[in-house]
Chains A and B, each alone.
Chain A
Amino acid sequence: MHDFQNTAWWAILWSLIKIVIVVVPLLLGVAYLTLAERKVIGYMQVRLGPNRVGFKGSLQPIADAIKLMFKEVIIPTNANRFLFLAAPVLAFVPALLVWAAIPFGPGVAISNMNAGLLYVLAIAGLGVYGIIVAGWASNSKYAFLGAMRAAAQLVAYEIAMGFALVGVLMLAQTLNLTKIVEAQAGGGFWSWYWLPLFPFFLVYFISGIAETNRAPFDVAEGESEIVAGFHVEYSGMAFALFFLAEYANMIFVSLLTTVLFLGGWYAPINTPLLTWIPGIVWLLLKTAFLLYVFLWIRATFPRYRYDQIMRLGWKVFIPVTIAWIVVIGVALETPLRAILR
């Protein structure tokens, strides 16, 4: 047994076990996030939301999943068959890959890599290929317009997102996500990075909403103008994969915002009663709160006009982040350094 634990096979097996431990709850989370979304938005709009399947609608996601699995996948005439079917996979795989670097507690991650922050930024940007390829391969004008919008939007917001992460990097002095959380330890919620990096916190979270194509930045779907945008031709499980990717990305953005700006697994106030609660509970609570904000924003704001999205990305977020990088850079050279780091 001990010999076996030193072999490469054991390393592979152990990685697979860790992946299953992360991915299964993630997919369950995605399923119930769809229910939560419909319930939360329902109550905000003085409706009940789904309440027929199971106790108060609790089995609705399962029913939806079964429905989607048994639906026919229709491939449009003159669509590029291979890319049409590859596109949902291209969207879904990066949405799972990013979870490899996410720390769930001190040292608890599939891979506690040194360049974790860079890894999640790089992989999260790949999801757009699924959208673009889907739009092109569908051989449909609406899908194509959605793909064009998604490409332009992603490039605009990824720059702002990258700059926001530079701020975190300057304070934490490391790209390792676990160490970034540990650098926020100490005095409870006012030692977390949302305070010194408040503009970055807002820019990152809003860019995250834009990157996941959620309302009010969901022009790639834009059902009032371009029907359903890039996935208008998709049905059944092919559509479901896009859906899964979108919701997995929402959870990922919320979790990463928690890790980078809201102190990860640390309790908000350093009292024995709160620190006694396990870190994973705090991590998930903060993530759940940010997910709620996602839904809240969707229920509250009208969709941005396309040119307004571009203006917000290029002319507001990027200048704001560059200015705040200079502020942080200067502050780190003053006695404030002791407080900031």
Chain B
Amino acid sequence: MLPVTTILFYVFSAILLGSATLVVTARNPVYATLYLVLAFFNAAALFILLGAEFLGLILILVYVGAVMVLFLFVVMMLDINLARLKEGFLSYLPLGLAIAILGVLELAVVFWTSPLGHITAPTAIPANADNTRALGILLYTQYLYPFEIAAVILLVAIIAAIALTLRRRTGAKTQNIGAQMAVRAKDRVYLVDLREPKS
């Protein structure tokens, strides 16, 4: 009998591959997005099976919890025209296949030259550290510069995205929050004594 984790691995992998295929073939973009969510979820499950619970949970937190919510947000607003969506499918197929084959080849080269078991384990980690702590120690010591550079690149991307979409409209009405908060009752209410003055 197979160990339970092996069975689970095959179950999660099968669902992952199935939902990944459905992402491409689903006729409805909302379904495609939801299948992608399922695919991420199963990928996270595979990470957790490997004992990399930090990576798995971050995958759920970032991709399922935030990125895909925004995807769904956009996709839901599309006018779903199935005929027009199906039109491009065959013309994109060669390009998609080429990218897929290239990806597989690159992975094959990586695994061929340095199988995962032969990568030398980093030295600076205490033996009893769980993998969140281990990852933290490595990211902030051995891989500090690549980590910081990646962070700066992301920051630049954020600023670029904001700069591209930012447009200053003239004549748009906005609120001055500071001025609103600074208002006191006496600025707005002016009491007038309407009684007839005594003669």
Please report A residues at the B interface, Cβ cutoff 8 Å: 8, 80, 83, 113-115, 118-119, 121-123, 125-126, 128-129, 132-133, 135-136, 144, 147-148, 151-152, 154-155, 158, 162, 175, 311
How far, in whole Å, are A122 and B64 apart by their CA atoms in the complex? 8
Query: Are A122 and B60 in contact, CB atoms less than 8 angstroms apart?
Result: yes
Cβ proximity bits B30-50 to A, threshold 8 Å, 1 near / 0 not: 100010010000000000000
How far, in whole Å, are A330 and B65 apart by their CA atoms in the complex? 31
B69 within 8 Å of A by Cβ?
yes
B74, closest chain A residue (CB): A151
**Complex contacts, B58 vs chain A, CB 8 Å:** 118, 122
Query: Are B76 and A132 in contact, CB atoms less than 8 angstroms apart?
Result: yes
How far, in whole Å, are A129 and B64 apart by their CA atoms in the complex? 9
Query: Are B66 and A118 in contact, CB atoms less than 8 angstroms apart?
Result: no
Query: Are A132 and B177 in contact, CB atoms less than 8 angstroms apart?
Result: no
B3, closest chain A residue (CB): A8
How far, in whole Å, are A238 and B145 apart by their CA atoms in the complex? 51
How far, in whole Å, are A80 and B4 apart by their CA atoms in the complex? 37
Closest 6 CB pairs of A and B: A125-B65, A122-B61, A122-B60, A118-B57, A151-B73, A115-B53
- Please tell me which one of the listed residues B4, B54, B66, B72 contacts residue A115 in the complex, with CB atoms under 8 A apart: B54
Distance between A144 CB and nearest chain B CB, rounded to angstroms? 7
Distance between A1 CB and nearest chain B CB, rounded to angstroms? 22
**Complex contacts, B177 vs chain A, CB 8 Å:** 311
B70 within 8 Å of A by Cβ?
yes
Distance between B47 CB and nearest chain A CB, rounded to angstroms? 11
Please report B residues at the A interface, Cβ cutoff 8 Å: 4, 30, 34, 37, 53-54, 57-58, 60-61, 64-66, 69-70, 72-73, 76, 130, 132, 177
Please report whether the interface of chain A is mostly helix, strand, loop or mixed according to DSSP.
helix
Query: Are A132 and B65 in contact, CB atoms less than 8 angstroms apart?
Result: no
Knowing A118-B61, A129-B69, A132-B69, the reply to whether A147 touches B53 (Cβ < 8 A) is: no
* 28 sample A-B contacts, Cβ–Cβ < 8 Å, listed by A number: A8-B4, A80-B30, A113-B53, A114-B53, A114-B130, A114-B132, A115-B53, A115-B54, A115-B57, A119-B53, A119-B57, A121-B61, A122-B57, A125-B60, A125-B61, A125-B65, A126-B60, A126-B65, A128-B69, A129-B37, A129-B69, A132-B76, A136-B72, A151-B70, A151-B72, A155-B70, A158-B65, A158-B66
Query: Are A136 and B61 in contact, CB atoms less than 8 angstroms apart?
Result: no
A12, closest chain B residue (CB): B4
**Complex contacts, B4 vs chain A, CB 8 Å:** 8
**Complex contacts, A113 vs chain B, CB 8 Å:** 53
Distance between B126 CB and nearest chain A CB, rounded to angstroms? 13
B72, closest chain A residue (CB): A132
Distance between A337 CB and nearest chain B CB, rounded to angstroms? 18
How far, in whole Å, are A83 and B31 apart by their CA atoms in the complex? 9
**Complex contacts, B65 vs chain A, CB 8 Å:** 122, 125-126, 158
